[in-house]
A = this chain, B = another copy of it.
């Protein structure tokens, strides 16, 4: 199995036929067209085996997740996804791995009409880098730096599920047939994150700042706070949780997973009170749950209030890839 055969497998499984792709996989580079009046949004994320996913993860899940984490970054900017490149490093030319990987990747790519336009296949320790490209109408990208004192702070979906899923996988050798629905739910949240593309584009003219929660809620709110030169105060009791999380862990553990757990790929955003009602209606149309978790304040840092309204001593340090 040679490099060119692997590329052919990937190409066959991921073909999308977007009209804005002039030259796709198979030349020195891809050639594509950005719509007039749109800006191009670019992000790049790497998944390393044993660091970003357990070594025995299904290749189809790795394929899905390698694209999802990038689409999530596009979503946080309010962008509509368009194209991706894939740099895949594999210890051996394993066509079975590549086929399953490409199927998982293609499943998510097809859902958002993302065309894989190029990349590289190399030999080495298992690692995947996807670079994703999308569009925003000129000037409408949502930045981290727009949060204003008095804004409300919201998150989409539920928090802590992916970290719960990882904990369950680490405590069991595999998720067996006897595993409960709750365990399967949180493990799916870990392996098959849903990028909040619809929510992100709906927030374009409404949110003042937005970020995707990849490093953990407190860490990522910390990025918004420092970029915007404000502080954020959140209520511990306001953090949205899934039924599965509530069933699997005690309250103290749950709160930890919700605040520090990474890999949620939900959006956290700040929004002026005047825009909240329109935003809630837009999110309802998307079928996207949103929860108010706090507010933007003058005092720097991210602060957590317990159920008595008292500040908890916390650190805003989330997932650092070199810790």
Interface centre among A89, A138, A141, A210 (most CB of B within 10 A): A89
Residue of chain B at shortest CB distance from A93:
B322
Is A194 interfacial (CB 8 A cutoff)?
no
CB distance from A121 to the nearest CB of B (A): 7
Inter-subunit contact A77/B143 (CB<8 Å): no
C-alpha spacing A44/B43, complex, angstroms: 13
Q: Chain B contacts of A33 at CB under 8 A?
A: 39-40, 138
Inter-subunit contact A42/B118 (CB<8 Å): yes
Inter-subunit contact A23/B141 (CB<8 Å): yes
Q: Chain B contacts of A123 at CB under 8 A?
A: 48, 51, 321-322
Which stretch in A104-112, A124-132, A151-159, A282-290 binds the other chain?
Answer: A124-132
C-alpha spacing A26/B211, complex, angstroms: 11
CB distance from A96 to the nearest CB of B (A): 14
Q: Chain B contacts of A22 at CB under 8 A?
A: 39, 141
The answer, among B2, B45, B85, B124, for a CB contact under 8 Å with A42, is: B85
Interface string of A40-66 (1 = CB under 8 A from B): 111111101111100000000000000
Size category, A interface: 35 or more
Inter-subunit contact A44/B85 (CB<8 Å): yes
Inter-subunit contact B42/A73 (CB<8 Å): no
Q: Given A27-B143, A44-B85, A46-B122, A322–B32 Cβ distance below 8 Å?
A: no
Is A240 interfacial (CB 8 A cutoff)?
no
Inter-subunit contact B31/A136 (CB<8 Å): yes
The answer, among B39, B87, B138, for a CB contact under 8 Å with A46, is: B87
CB distance from A263 to the nearest CB of B (A): 14
Is A310 interfacial (CB 8 A cutoff)?
no
Is A176 interfacial (CB 8 A cutoff)?
no
Is A19 interfacial (CB 8 A cutoff)?
no
Q: Which 5 A-B pairs have the closest CB atoms?
A: A48-B124, A29-B43, A93-B322, A28-B76, A125-B125
Q: Could you list 17 examples of A-B contacts with CB < 8 Å?
A: A2-B322, A2-B323, A6-B322, A23-B141, A27-B144, A27-B227, A29-B77, A29-B79, A29-B134, A31-B41, A31-B42, A32-B39, A33-B39, A34-B40, A42-B85, A46-B124, A121-B322
Q: Using a CB–CB distance below 8 Å, which chain A residues touch chain B?
A: 1-4, 6, 22-23, 26-34, 36, 39-46, 48-52, 73-74, 76-77, 79, 83, 85-87, 89, 92-93, 117-125, 127, 129, 131, 133-134, 136, 138, 141, 143-145, 210-212, 227, 320-323
**Given A33-B138, A87-B131, 11 other A-B contacts at CB below 8 A?**
A27-B77, A28-B73, A29-B43, A30-B41, A30-B42, A31-B136, A31-B141, A34-B40, A44-B87, A44-B118, A124-B125
